[in-house]
Amino acid sequence: MAYHRTVIDLTLLRRDPAVVRDALARRGVDPSDVDELVELDAAHRLLLQHAEELRAEVKSLSRQVGQARKDGDTARAEELQLESRRLGDDERHAAAEADTVAAQVRSRLLVLPNLPDEEAPDGGGEADNVEVFRWWPGKDEGEEPPSYEDHQRVAHWEIGEALGILDLERGSRMSGSMFPLTEAMASRLMRALTWYSLRRQRGAYTEVRPPTLVLTETLTATGHLPKFAEDAYEIERDSLWAIPTAEVPLTSMHRGEILEEDDLPLRYCATTACFRREAGSAGRDTRGLLRVHEFDKTELFAYCTEAQARDGVADIRERAEQLLQGLRLQYRVLDLCAGDLGLSNARTFDLEVYAPGVDRWLEVSSVSWYRDYQARRANVRYRPSGGGSPVIAHTVNGSALGWVRVWAAVVETYRQPDGSVSIPDVLVGYAGADRIVAADVAP
């Protein structure tokens, strides 16, 4: 059973397990987990070697049986044949044992986190993330951070209900809790945000409309399976999964292919519906649009070389920040510590927008570098321009942006004293209006 293209680089694990052990310890992984994996991998290779040796002996005996029959030595031929059958049984048993250990190795590898980037801050969790940048309208002109008025300190679900554009009750009636329903200008504003983003990626990122239902191996390639199966929606009858992000199908666009280095980076952009069960979120951030099961999101993604990866992260981060600055929303950027990185991530920058109505920083984008972790699982390689064997690609991606939370921040930030909501200037052309008022909703 092959498992060499499922996760972290096994060559590194075998050559220098201490490097892997120390790197994963920064993420809170017990060093003994790495040691046990190394031992299992060594045992698997010994079992494979033993099975191959037995197989070679069986082949040799088969040749000897043939020669004995040719020489007319029937007794010798039967004796050798009995020995061949015995060794054949031993070989099959050894091969089955090797497969069993290989499955154990693979199952451990599939849930083993990526090695964190050396530049990722140390820390064990969310409290140790480092704020590296903050922006607000007027900052570039030397103005102080904004102070929000009382009319802006109203939660978006109350604003939406008062204007008749956000109906959480009907959404729940149709699909259950945490499935919002938007109406009239709320829907137009959500769509305007999508067009606003896609327009600004034109020419730099190739727009893709991927499927929103994918195979198990597609979700496994990004690291969402098997570890996060409880957070995903599975359609068991068809062996399909609803995607939690467009990152999933984009990572597998070139699965099993060998790209050309001269074509890298390959940049893609996709807006899709995203589905997340949010297991374990009961009673936590579940009001309004803070945490929902279905939402639209625009994703930027790139296949690249290791040398191109940091520039790829910087480009996606800059594009996401430009969108927030265009909307004139206050936001901050967090450099996630090693202990708070996602399973597949080597480095992540979170963009959080400030929503005055809920007085919260809301994550609207995670811009991440995965090294070759995901591409190794998806078996995406590139042929070096200078020649040589194919190399596993690197992947980077980030949201631009997650619209339900941006929508919430816009509605709260732009709420007016009379209860209406001004539409940001950059969205007026897409929304076809500059204000949301209750009268916009037909009775």
Domain ranges within the chain, ordered by starting residue: 10-110, 126-440
Given this model, what pLDDT does residue 440 score? 55
Is residue 136 within 8 Å of 146, Cβ to Cβ? Answer: yes
119 burial (CB, 10 Å; 0-12 / 13-18 / 19+) is: exposed
What pLDDT is stored for residue 283 in this prediction?
Answer: 57
Question: DSSP 3-state assignment of 110?
Answer: helix
Q: What is the pLDDT of residue 381?
A: 97
DSSP-derived secondary structure letter, 166 = B
Q: What is the structure's pLDDT at 287?
A: 86
CATH topology assigned to domain 126-440 = BirA Bifunctional Protein; domain 2 (3.30.930)
Q: What architecture is domain 10-110? A: Orthogonal Bundle (1.10)
Instruction: Name the residue with tokens 């995901």.
Output: 374
- Sheet of 394-402, strand order: 130-135, 331-335, 347-355, 360-369, 394-402, 294-304, 266-275, 206-207
Strand order in the sheet with 240-242: 213-215, 240-242, 233-235
Q: What is the pLDDT of residue 282?
A: 57
What are the phi and psi torsion angles at 155 (to 5°)? Answer: -65, 145
Sequence length of the chain is: 443
Q: DSSP state, 305?
A: -
pLDDT at 77 (0 to 100): 84
Q: State residue 74's pLDDT score.
A: 87
Low-confidence ranges of the chain (pLDDT < 50): 1-5, 442-443
Given CA atoms 202, 205, 209, 212 in this order, what sign does their dihedral have? negative
Residue 284 is predicted with a pLDDT of 65
Q: What is the rounded CA–CA span in Å between residue 381 and residue 389? A: 10
The predicted pLDDT at position 291 comes to 92
Domains 10-110 and 126-440 share a fold: no
Contact 191, 225 (CB under 8 A): no
Q: What is the pLDDT of residue 18?
A: 94
